[in-house]
Chain A
Amino acid sequence: MKYVDEFRDRGHAETLAGAIKRTVTKPWTIMEVCGGQTHAIVRFGLDSLLPERLTLVHGPGCPVCVTSVSLIDQAVCLASLPGVIFCSFGDMLRVPGSRGDLFSVKAAGGDVRIIYSPLDALEIARKNPDREVVCFAVGFETTAPAWAMAVTQAKQLGVTNFSLLIAHVLVPPAMEAILSSPQNRIQGFLAAGHVCTVMGYEEYEAIAQKYRVPIVVTGFEPLDVLEGVAMLVSQLEEGRVEVENQYVRSVNREGNRPARTIVDEVFEPVSRAWRGIGEIPASGLRLKSAYSAYDAEQKFERELSQLTIGIEDPECQSGLVLQGLLKPMDCPAFGVRCTPEQPLGAPMVSSEGACAAYYRYRSHATSKV
């Protein structure tokens, strides 16, 4: 398949892995920011091709994983309201809040629907004028333009029974939060290619210089990840600190101007709590006042005000995992009290969650094959 097979070629993978092995002379710890990259690394066993002195840690780039318990609780509350059609991307449905997940709302008779695009949700609202359609707007900079588009179209069309419960988060503030932590051990980043497709990588240049950390914008196929790692370790070994772009077929420095424009038109930054990490200033998005009629938190303020805020399961160490301070398999609950069937935290749910990826592909030690 074009644009896929050429980036999964075994010969090229071995060549790149060989180049990385020859380049690395010191121990380095690098983080792949995006859950899609974590998934590719584990699905294709890419870490087994890398030298032992190179440590990969998995970053907070899975939107499902970092959505706070209180937001999930709000979603469960709104989805349970009579007359509400609650729309969500599929992998949010199994994430546990403090009182169940969206699947359990569906099982109890709630109208919870999986959507594939924000515009599908708008269509549902148009077809059901007597119902309130509430959407769980989850994601990074990648999905924000589509939600912005849905909101502007709703306004143009005069659709009023449509609102968003917004859990949107931004990547650069999270990278800064990790770098400014006293426990930080990350020496270089593979930045998330899809996020940069929308946003470009200008904003990473200041981060690289401020924290003296090289950053390589990297794609998601096996050869993308290996090439990104090769570029990053070259910088580290040579003592360079630059923002480089491995994912040139998709990303340029400015990003996608029309997409950025519509996001700026509709959303503004807001402080947001990340699951397991805590509050990070200006790390989320909320609707600007011109679009506040589409904000579910305002529309359903009365219903949500009666909600007692839940807390995360204290046994879940996802915060440490999401900051790269703990490998999933080193968590005492991993595979014992925390499994995809009974997850304690979100990283065990999403296919892009680090814990789920390890459980699915690494849960058993295999003999050498």
Chain B
Amino acid sequence: MTVHDNKPFEQACPLPISAKNTVQLAHGGGGRLMQELIQDVFVRAFHNPMLAPLHDGATWPMEKGTLAFTTDSYVVHPLFFPGGDIGSLAVNGTINDLAMCGAKPLYLSAGFILEEGLNMGVLQRVVNSMAEAARAAGVPIVTGDTKVVDRGKGDEIFINTSGVGLVPAGVRVLPTLIQPGDAILVSGDLGSHGVAVLSVREGLTFEGDIKSDSAPLHHIVADLLDSGIDIHCLRDLTRGGLASVLNELAVAAKVGMMVDESTIPVNEPVRGACELLGLDPLYVANEGRFVAIVPALQAEAALAVMRRHKAASLAAHIGMVTDRDPSMVVLRTVVGTHRVLDLLSGEQLPRIC
């Protein structure tokens, strides 16, 4: 230790580094600072009996049945947007991936990649939001990891969540089960998440209140299964939106799909924003919407079940699976003509005029 000649020796202890309000490289270094971060931020927020031992992994006794396992990474910017933030998104997104397999989500893991210099208050807000989302969904975060990268090598916070779920006996939800004649249902209005994030990121303001639709969907799926709906396939409508998902499913199941544009719910502010920017809401991302493919005879019953839930109150029957034009999605436009609803080659780009 060096004592500077021009400075009197200070007897008072320096403030603990953990009191600093930014994330330091040392917070990922494996030492005391990291332990403090884990205890003060993560364990305090996520506390549950399976996390409590702070072992290298969580363990639990197995039930008989089929496991579902999924992982997803979240790099959204800005971290906070109307209707959600990266934390709640990371919990709901992985829960939804499990739900789309027909599984009851059981446990989540959370991996954080933090950028040096991140405001500790921002991290706390994100972690609290994750904890709140996990509690609301009834799916605990039981193991985790933290790394800190040099400033400039990350974008504040990246989160990876993995999830394990249990598929109830007798439940099979797969693209290959899709059959001609099936009904195509969508759980609600499209495009709110993508437009909400874009509007904050680009500083655009639109008339009306556009909030992300981020929500957990597993209760809706469980309700559908409990009601005896013979779900053939489910898929959440994230990146690429409805159009991309229907194309993926049509290819996977080698069937055609016929969708009626006038029945697809899109709320007014989102439509307005999309018209203005030259975006097609059918390709805009959602975080709390899914498509369900069910036997046509059960379409109305399935819609009634879905509409009991707030996140699916606008569920609609938008089309049917056909045996024409395999692997292709055809849209009946609002003026009554038909066209192909194709995959985009990349992201939609706002147009000039």
Question: Chain A residues in contact with chain B, CB under 8 A?
Answer: 1, 4, 8-10, 13-14, 36, 42-46, 48-49, 63-64, 89-94, 114, 116, 120, 138-140, 142-143, 194, 222, 339-341, 350-352, 359-364, 366-367, 369
Contacts and interface: CB of A to CB of B under 8 A. Distances in A.
Contacts of B272: 1
Contacts of A364: 325, 328, 340, 342
A46 B337 CA distance: 7
A298 to B, nearest CB: 24
A138 B352 CA distance: 8
Of B278, B339, B351, most buried by chain A (CB within 10 Å of CB) is B351
29 contacts: A9-B335, A10-B336, A14-B336, A42-B339, A45-B333, A45-B337, A46-B337, A49-B337, A63-B352, A89-B350, A90-B350, A91-B278, A91-B349, A91-B350, A93-B349, A114-B202, A114-B350, A116-B204, A116-B277, A116-B350, A139-B353, A143-B352, A339-B345, A341-B345, A351-B351, A364-B325, A364-B328, A369-B258, A369-B332
B345 A369 contact: no
Given A46-B335, A48-B337, A362-B339, A63 B271 contact: no
Contacts, number: 114
Contacts of A43: 333, 339
A8 B340 contact: no
Contact of A194 (B203, B277, B353): B353
B334 A44 contact: yes
B325 A44 contact: no
B275 interface: yes
A366 B352 contact: no
Interface residues of B, number: 34
A90 B351 CA distance: 6
A8 B278 contact: no
Return the 7 tightest CB-CB contacts between A and B, nearest first.
Answer: A45-B337, A90-B349, A340-B345, A90-B350, A13-B335, A89-B352, A91-B349
Nearest to A8: B334
Interface of B: 202-204, 258, 262, 268, 271-272, 275, 277-278, 324-325, 328, 330, 332-340, 342, 344-346, 348-353
A322 B342 CA distance: 24
A45 B324 contact: no
Given A1-B268, A116-B277, A369-B338, A140 B328 contact: no
Contacts of B348: 351
Given A116-B204, A351-B278, A45 B339 contact: yes
B353 A1 contact: no
A366 B330 contact: yes
Contacts of A351: 278, 348-349, 351
Contacts of A360: 340, 342, 344
Contacts of A367: 324-325
B333 A91 contact: no
